Structure 1
Amino acid sequence: MPSTRRSLLTAFLTLPLIDSARTRAFAQAAPELPLTPACDDGDDPTLEREAGPFFKPNSPLKRDLYPDSPHGERITVAGVILDTRCWPLSGSLVEIWQADEKGDYDSVGFRLRGHQFSDTQGRWWFNTIVPALYPGRTRHFHFKVQRPGGRVITTQLYFPGEARNAGDRLFDEALLLNIKQTGDGKFGRFDFVT
């Protein structure tokens, strides 16, 4: 039976933490989706990128964005928030905003925009769509991540194998999602280090 986004998310959410602290084995929730990028003690935080002109404050608390754009290609984006020692961080803010299936951002409301807080094991996830390309940019998601009491990291996550990656001035391989095609869409994994 082929994998589905739901089965990969379920595996991601049910794998126990080793020692209740270190996430090296935990971060391998689905064997096809290794920790991205690998977290080693003393790691630098996730690379920052500009927010761009489409950020809006006060996004709603929601993780299911797919109903905002039901004609787009489904993707579940998930990961763990880690500190620089690779310890999971619960209660961290994770905010996403993105283009729709036509390459447009909602500048009036909050379509394809939302936030959540990582769970007790540092995990976060959004059910959404693959954003379309638009002039001058490669395919990407925008994120803001803030650990409790920490500063906000603003970044962008990219899709592997995109022809426009090489020509996008903001693209960096360290910000590539690890993507698996499933029977009902894509499943992308990225762990933020803050």
Structure 2
Amino acid sequence: MPSTRRSLLTAFLSLPLVDAAKMRAFAQATPQLALTWACDDEDDDAPTLEREAGPFYKPDTPLDSDLYPGAPGGERITVAGFVFDNLCRPLPGSLVEIWHADEHGEYDRDGFRLRGHQFSDVQGRWWFNTIVPALYPGRTRHFHFKVQRPGGRVLTTQLFFPGEPGNADDWLFHDSLLLSVNRAGDGQFGRFDFVV
């Protein structure tokens, strides 16, 4: 039976993360959910790269992790990960905000469709159920994020999809901002761990 987004998210959420050693054990047990490079390599605990917010950012998004109902015609994806400090310790209570284009490459400028935020749980985990954004002229496929640890500064960045032909031509693209994406029976499951 093929994996589903729900089963991959359930496996992700069942992790009893305590420290970086547990993360490495999880990576070995479930290699299909590869870790972000910054916390997988003992020699490289660099913060996640910053990228511009772009012209379509809107403040005051709703507290919502289930964005799919706003675009039921799009291909479903669950995007999940952790928020860590530069020593790979989880940061509970971190703000994680997402916004992106819809299945036609358009951003909702009037409301909050495909826009939302949440706070990382006690293990530093976050997740959104949404859709794969469509391409639009001049950009490769991407999600926008703002991440803020409690009392910290705001990281604004963008996450990209592997294997996209437009990645090489997008001036904001960097391979350290690639999602780890797996196909599931009902869509895709993407993973990225923010280091702030």
- Please report the TM-score for the alignment, with normalisation by the length of structure 1: 0.95
Q: Helix, strand or coil for the counterpart of 1:25?
A: helix
Q: Residues 42, 139 of structure 1: CA spacing in aligned structure 2 closer, same or farther, 3 A cutoff?
A: closer
4+ long deviations beyond 2 Å: 20-31
* Superposed CA offset, 1:15-73 (max 9, x none): 222xx233523653742111112413661210000000000000000000000000000
Aligned to 2:63: 61
Question: What percentage of aligned pairs have identical amino acids?
Answer: 72
* Superposed CA offset, 1:113-151 (max 9, x none): 000000000000000000000000000000000000100
Tell me, yes or no, if the aligned pair for 2:38 and 2:46 is still in contact at 8 Å: no
Q: Residues 26, 145 of structure 1: CA spacing in aligned structure 2 closer, same or farther, 3 A cutoff?
A: farther
Tell me, yes or no, if the aligned pair for 1:66 and 1:128 is still in contact at 8 Å: yes
Aligned to 1:5: 5
- 2:74 is aligned with 1:72: yes
In 2: Cα distance, 1:140 partner to 1:12 partner: 22
Tell me, yes or no, if the aligned pair for 2:91 and 2:123 is still in contact at 8 Å: yes
Which structure 2 residues correspond to residues 36-115 of structure 1 after superposition, within 5 A? 36-39=36-39, 40=42, 43-115=45-117
Q: What is the aligned residue count? A: 192
Give 2:189's match in structure 1, choosing from 183, 187, 190.
187
Q: Helix, strand or coil for the counterpart of 2:37?
A: coil
Query: Structure 1: 5+ residue runs without aligned partners?
Result: none
In 1: Cα distance, 2:117 partner to 2:25 partner: 23
Q: Helix, strand or coil for the counterpart of 1:164?
A: helix
Q: Residues 186, 42 of structure 1: CA spacing in aligned structure 2 closer, same or farther, 3 A cutoff?
A: closer
Is the helix fraction higher in 1 or 2? 2
Q: Helix, strand or coil for the counterpart of 1:128?
A: strand
